Amino acid sequence: AGDVSVSDTNYRFDVARTSAEAGMRWRLAIGPTKHRIALSASGYRDRLNRGLVNSAITSLTNLYDPVQLPPQSIADPVSVPKVSSTYLTGLSLVDTVSTRDESLQLTAGFRYQRIRSDNFSPEGVVIEHYDAGALAPLLGIVFKPNQAVSLYAHRIDGLSKGDVAPTSAANAGEVMAPYRSTQYEAGVRLARRDLEATISAFLISRPVGVLNGAHFGADGEQRNRGLELGVQHELLRGVRVNAGAMWLDATISGSPTLSGKTPVGVPSWQLNLGAEWDVRQIPGLTLLTAVASNGAQYVDAANTQQVPSWTRWDLGMRYRVSGTRYPATVRLAVRNVLGRRGWAAVDAYGGLAQADPRVALVSVTASF
């Protein structure tokens, strides 16, 4: 197990990204209600140029018993042609209406998003064009029976670029319409002077591109149902703990071959536990520790391979330097204290990310 072939490629990238956002907010009172209105517009543009030269040499090695491969000399790409360009624009309007004491809040609004994308051939000819927009609503409610407790529920819709039919499909190259994802969430939040806690249940659904026979279409659906818990508490003066947990049931439906399967790279649970201690004897010094744990993740759509669950322990400290002209904060962190080896994550395309090795990080932040 673990045998792989390696072929090197010399890449050159030229990436340009531009974004802008502008907005306005109003506060007004109408009769027994208060209104908070927000209007915003946003734009994003990116351009990707890429050139590459593939090596003519293919080497064999093993992931778990790697072989030292000889260095290669690969020529630089002669040109770096444009590969793709994307334009995203959005406009949103949201109004939050509340009673005078804010014990009841209702939120309603919309967001219009437009996605334009072009893919280019090496000669600069547009080979795939995509230009579509859609309107997505936002609805929410918050009820506060008292100052410490909030009951809430909301629905949020979002848009993302649709998939492109693969070369194996009869409609290869066809671009799907924008994918609309819908999220429902309901929960309870407790906020006191030394304790904050939240428990919520959620349901997220989004289309998934699947092959039905020889035709590729957005006929599948990924549905994520879960429960999330978060707690922050000051146990003693200067001693704080925070914990979080999420349980997730993710499934695919609408596919002849993948219905009932778990999406690639989605763990069924995640756990986090952290603590901070302000050292009284050394003013400004805080010691930190954290443990993160993640469930197993499938590597392939058929759910035949997976990376195992993992746990990582981190340590750190934070020191605030005061009494000087320029206040500063020094941070030191050691990630993966026990040096655990293995895989940390799987992306949607089955790519694996290795766990970080034991590493020390130092940073300084100063105010001028």
Q: How far apart are CA 283 and CA 321, in angstroms?
A: 9
**Long-range CB contacts for residues 333-342, cutoff 8 Å, separation at least 24:** 333/288, 333/360, 333/361, 334/358, 334/359, 334/360, 334/361, 335/359, 335/361, 336/312, 337/313, 338/312, 338/313, 340/310, 340/311, 340/312, 342/307, 342/308, 342/310
Q: How far apart are CA 34 and CA 101, in angstroms?
A: 9
**Predicted pLDDT of residue 348:** 67
**Predicted pLDDT of residue 178:** 76
By percentage, how much of the chain surpasses pLDDT 90? Answer: 61
**Predicted pLDDT of residue 166:** 73
Burial of 264: CB neighbours in 10 Å, binned 0-12, 13-18, 19+ = buried
Token pair, residue 321, equals: 């330097």
**Predicted pLDDT of residue 338:** 95
Token pair, residue 144, equals: 């506060």
Q: How far apart are CA 89 and CA 113, in angstroms?
A: 6
| 3-class SS of residue 176 | coil
Burial of 360: CB neighbours in 10 Å, binned 0-12, 13-18, 19+ = exposed
Burial of 7: CB neighbours in 10 Å, binned 0-12, 13-18, 19+ = exposed
By percentage, how much of the chain surpasses pLDDT 70? Answer: 99
pTM exceeds 0.85, yes or no: no
| 3-class SS of residue 262 | coil
What are the tens digits of pLDDT across the range 277-323? 999 999 999 999 999 999 999 998 889 999 999 999 999 999 999 87
**Predicted pLDDT of residue 337:** 96
Q: How far apart are CA 184 and CA 156, in angstroms?
A: 7
Token pair, residue 218, equals: 């957005």
Instruction: Please report where in the chains the tokens 């936002």 appear, as a residue.
Output: 138
Residues of the chain below pLDDT 70: 348-350
Burial of 222: CB neighbours in 10 Å, binned 0-12, 13-18, 19+ = buried
What are the tens digits of pLDDT across the range 229-261? 999 999 999 999 999 999 999 999 988 888 999
Burial state string for 201-216 with b = 16 or more CB within 10 A and e = fewer than 16: ebebbbbbbbbeeeeb
In the chain, what are the domain boundaries?
Answer: 1-121
